[in-house]
């Protein structure tokens, strides 16, 4: 019988709230040696994920978009909205300001491991929050979890 996400996921993952300071989130990631955290609201429902790549904005900053001036008119060669988002992330102080909250990839515990792996590959994500029908975070599935299961099944 094929393995499900529930068979392999880490249960009761560490979570943070949108108002958690970045300093605290960074400390949790470093102490636990993990690369991301689910972000939940007061009811425990998933609202986003904060990852190492989100936090890198704190070090790299934001690069202004390229533009040209013609007759006192600024013409942007890139989307200036992207610069606004990048700048907001570079200056953010809380998890909610940096987290990825849009179009999150999630998985339900009853899905097959194959389906979860395919979703991770398609969305190019390192982890999938595992949620129940009410969007409460009940676990996390990482690439490492899948690889360890692949290794165990070959024995």
**For the domain that residue 103 is a member of, what is the CATH number?**
3.10.580.10
Per the structure, how many domains does the chain have?
1
pLDDT of residue 73: 67
Give 55-91 pLDDT, tens digit per residue.
Answer: 776 565 555 555 567 776 666 556 656 655 655 555 5
Closest CA to 84 of 49, 57, 124, 123: 57
Q: Which percentage of the chain shows pLDDT scores above 90?
A: 55
Average pLDDT over residues 96-100: 86
Q: pTM for the complete prediction? A: 0.75
Its domain, for residue 35, covers 5-153
Beta partners for residue 150, in sequence order: none
Give 38-56 pLDDT, tens digit per residue.
Answer: 999 999 999 999 988 777 7
């Amino acid at each position: 019988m094929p393995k499900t996400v529930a068979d392999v996921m880490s249960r009761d993952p560490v979570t943070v709230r949108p108002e958690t300071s970045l300093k605290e989130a960074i400390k949790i990631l470093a102490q636990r040696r993990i690369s991301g955290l689910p972000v939940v609201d007061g009811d425990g429902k998933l609202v986003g994920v904060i990852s190492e790549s989100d936090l890198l904005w704190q070090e790299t900053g934001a690069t202004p978009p390229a533009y040209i001036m013609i007759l006192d008119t600024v013409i942007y060669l890139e989307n200036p909205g992207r610069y606004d988002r990048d700048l907001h992330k570079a200056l953010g102080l809380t998890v909610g300001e940096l987290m990825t909250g849009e179009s999150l990839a999630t998985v339900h515990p009853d899905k097959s491991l194959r389906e979860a792996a395919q979703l991770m590959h398609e969305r190019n994500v390192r982890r999938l929050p595992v949620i129940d029908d009410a969007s409460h975070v009940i676990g996390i599935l990482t690439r490492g979890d899948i690889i360890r299961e692949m290794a165990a099944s070959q024995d």
